[in-house]
Amino acid sequence: MKQVFFGARIFDGTDFHDDCAVIVDNGLIEGIVPFSERPKHCIEHDLEGGILSPGLIDWQINGGGGVLFNETPTVAGIRNILAAHRREGTTECLITVITDSRKVMTEALNAVKAAKDFVPGLLGIHVEGPFIDESRSGAHPRQFIQSMTSEDLEWLIRHKAGTMVVTVAPNRVQSSQITALVDNGIIVSMGHSEATDLEALNSIEAGASGITHLFNAMSPLSHRSPGMVGVGLSNSRVICGLIADGHHVANTALKVAFAARGAKGLALVSDAMPSAAGGPAHFKLQGRTVERIGTKLTLENGTLAGSGVTLLQSIRYLVNEIGIELADALEMATHTPARFLKVNRQYGRIAPGFKASLLHLDDKLIAQKTWIDGLAS
């Protein structure tokens, strides 16, 4: 039976609609119509205010609700992490495994393959490392970092699981390897690297289309050495992941990034760890203690170790602290990540033929309810 959602402002992924209703049929969006023209004899959802948006899409979730994927690379681990973030408005995501032993990373890939078709909201996996740069390792354990071999390339292709992003350092992989990954349907993002701007540009020519958490763990922008940050800010062929938690990127730098790339060039990511979405203040990351102070997560040496926020908290931060328009902040968490992940014909919009993944927010941008394929989740 058809469903009709009304009573809230509707954000369709790029624009707002007032005094309208959303029609859902068999898990798909049928359309947005004026409230007065909504069909009768349907299941009605009177939202009584707030905003109805596409569900949020996060391509970098390491954990949440007390669970870390690297420590629990199982179907159950995936289900628990996604459930925690879904309560905070994220309806689709890539679960992320960071640099680890080959055993752990293979278990993670196999778990995503097993879970892909029945864990709601799981699009696939983000493999962040181990083909990164030791000098920009961040919280990644250096003992597992390596350059990519032909065997590694074959391993990644063989274990492709759903929508798959692989973060690599442009100075630790060959252009031909990037092209081979892309030719096999894997999205390549650049990160954790001291690469020059020319090395990053060569990787884009080879097929790389993203930058992982812009500004963090990468060569910075200077006037004679633009680095990876310079490429991210200036090149429209890449979409940049951006962590907006008040710790990873200074407010002025957030404003610079938005001025340079706008909502269509920046995709918010949470980089969430177990402390996010209701998790504990302390947890172990590959044997090392991570402590949360407020929403900031650090190792004992002060290194940032992911974030303690959800994507929805980042939206609120951009709107309330940076002054970015709500439509732009929402687009950075819906339509833009869908474009980067090449799922923008199914997700990230409220438009005819799209999946009915929906999020109802109140006027303070607090999640009230989510739906996946038209079903309350």
**Residues 313 and 209 placed together within one structural domain of the fold:** yes
CATH number of the domain to which 298 belongs: 3.20.20.140
Catalytic residue check, 373: no
**Residues 260 and 368 placed together within one structural domain of the fold:** no
Model pLDDT, residue 243 = 98
Model pLDDT, residue 30 = 97
**Residues 122 and 177 placed together within one structural domain of the fold:** yes
**Residues 142 and 245 placed together within one structural domain of the fold:** yes
8 A C-beta contact, residue 148 and residue 168:
yes
8 A C-beta contact, residue 181 and residue 207:
yes
**Residues 49 and 60 placed together within one structural domain of the fold:** no
Give the 3-state secondary structure of 323-372.
CCCHHHHHHCCCHHHHHHCCCCCCCCCCCCCCECCEEEECCCCCEEEEEE
Strand, helix or coil at 88? Answer: coil
The model's pLDDT over 278-306, given as tens digits with 9 standing for 90+, comes to 999 999 999 999 999 999 999 999 999 99
| Intra-chain end-to-end CA distance of the chain, in Å | 18
Residue 331 to residues 49, 74, 129, 199, 341, Cα–Cα distance (Å): 20, 31, 27, 30, 14
**Residues 219 and 269 placed together within one structural domain of the fold:** yes
**Residues 118 and 41 placed together within one structural domain of the fold:** no
**Residues 44 and 168 placed together within one structural domain of the fold:** no
**Residues 154 and 249 placed together within one structural domain of the fold:** yes
Residue with tokens 């951009």: 318
pLDDT band (50, 70, 90) for residue 114 = very high
Give domain status of residue 162, yes or no.
Answer: yes
CATH number of the domain to which 9 belongs: 2.30.40.10
**Residues 178 and 198 placed together within one structural domain of the fold:** yes
Give domain status of residue 345, yes or no.
Answer: no
Q: Domain containing 30: what range?
A: 3-53+350-376
Model pLDDT, residue 187 = 98
The model's pLDDT over 117-162, given as tens digits with 9 standing for 90+, comes to 999 999 999 999 999 999 999 999 999 999 999 999 999 999 999 9
Nearest to 209 by CA among 248, 269, 168, 174: 168
Catalytic-labelled residue, pool 15, 271, 328, 373: 271
d(CA 93, CA 219): 27
Model pLDDT, residue 1 = 85
DSSP code of 113? H
What's the number of domains the chain is made of?
Answer: 2
**Residues 369 and 279 placed together within one structural domain of the fold:** no
Torsion angle in degrees (nearest 10) through CA of 361, 362, 365, 368: -50
**Residues 296 and 333 placed together within one structural domain of the fold:** yes
Give domain status of residue 117, yes or no.
Answer: yes
Quick one: average pLDDT of 309-333?
98
Give domain status of residue 46, yes or no.
Answer: yes
Which of 171-204 are b and which e, b meaning 16 or more Cβ less than 10 Å from the residue's Cβ?
A: bbbbbebbbbbbeeebbbbbbbbbbbbebbbbbb
Mean model confidence pLDDT for the chain? 97
Give domain status of residue 331, yes or no.
Answer: yes
Q: Is the pLDDT of residue 46 over 90?
A: yes
* Contacts with 40 (C-beta within 8 Å, 6 or more apart), sequence order: none
Give domain status of residue 107, yes or no.
Answer: yes
Quick one: average pLDDT of 62-77?
98
Q: Helices (DSSP H) in 238-277: which residue ranges?
A: 251-265
d(CA 240, CA 188): 12
Polymer length of the chain? 377
pTM of the complete model:
0.98
8 A C-beta contact, residue 256 and residue 283:
no
- Say what percent of the chain tops pLDDT 70: 100
8 A C-beta contact, residue 53 and residue 9:
no
